[in-house]
Amino acid sequence: MQENKMVKTKTTALENYQKIKHLLNNVNVKKKFEEVLGYRASQFITSVANVVNGNPLLRNCDANSVLSAAMVAATLDLPVDPNLGFSYIIPYNTKDGYKAQFQIGYRGLIQLALRTGQYQRINVIEVYEGQLKEFNPLTEDIVFDFTAKTSNKVIGYAAFFRLINGFEKTVYWPIEKVKAHAQRFSKTFNNGPWKTDFDEMAKKTVLKNMLSKWGILSIEMQEAIRSDQAVIKQSEEGVEYEYVDSPYYEEEENNPTTTDEVAQEEEVQLPWEEGKQ
């Protein structure tokens, strides 16, 4: 019986892969990508096929979920090559089988922000031990000395933007706050992108939170944030977003202070407070 189950699983994976290849070669599907990307559609479809070919779990995903994730990336005009870090098609194992999520990278968020023409400067970086000199969580006054790095240990992440009208914002999250957020909002914290690409995910999280609260969001930036870490379902009724990896995502969207409250649940000790009780 177990042998039959294994055969069935392999057959399902092969069927999914065949469906994905069939959809990517479908004339109507190609036409939809051409409507979005023009002459670059063929190159984009090839990159999607390469991503799927290079990931056994993606080859096992529901074909429509792969196509929908790819279409979101195409609509946002972001490449899906994982080596570039703008956006990703991520496989996720659900009770209904593997499905593909769209996931934006921090470079993708920066790219979308710059396209608005409203951002003069925008960046997000790791903060190493010794570089943070003072941080007031209430006023968010922050003092860094980037020449004072004492080790390669990352203690937090800082994001910054300056608008063309002069408004600027700096946000700092200690690494403990990042981990608390990740453990709460990602069920795959121990074996997903947070495990394999922690720095990339951490920078995206801090930047996304800052832009959501303080930035100027274009329509495409709003769509990117809504689609992030979602399995996209398109129907006659419209687009549905299923956050299979993040059960509290909608809570975060409806209550922007949730992520800050998560950090408060866990006492965060700042570098200059070490040894204090």
Q: Is the pTM of this model over 0.75?
A: yes
Give the C-alpha distances (Å, rounded to integers) separating 18 from 4, 5, 63, 180.
21, 20, 9, 40
The 10s digit of each residue's pLDDT in 70-114 is: 999 999 999 999 999 999 999 988 888 889 999 999 999 999 999
Q: Judge residue 101's burial from the number of C-beta atoms within 10 Å of its C-beta, 0-12 exposed, 13-18 middle, 19 or more buried.
A: buried
Kindly list the domain boundaries of the chain, sorted by start residue.
2-101, 117-217+247-273
Tens digit of each residue's pLDDT (9 = 90 or more) over 122-151: 999 999 999 999 999 888 899 999 999 999
Give the model confidence (pLDDT) of 163-185 as tens digits. 999 999 999 999 999 999 988 88
- The whole-number pLDDT of residue 211 equals 96
- As a whole number, mean pLDDT of residues 48-56 equals 93
pLDDT at 233: 74
Tokens of 95: 């009770």
Is the distance from CB of 98 to CB of 60 less than 8 angstroms?
yes
pLDDT for the residue 5 = 45
Residues in the chain: 277
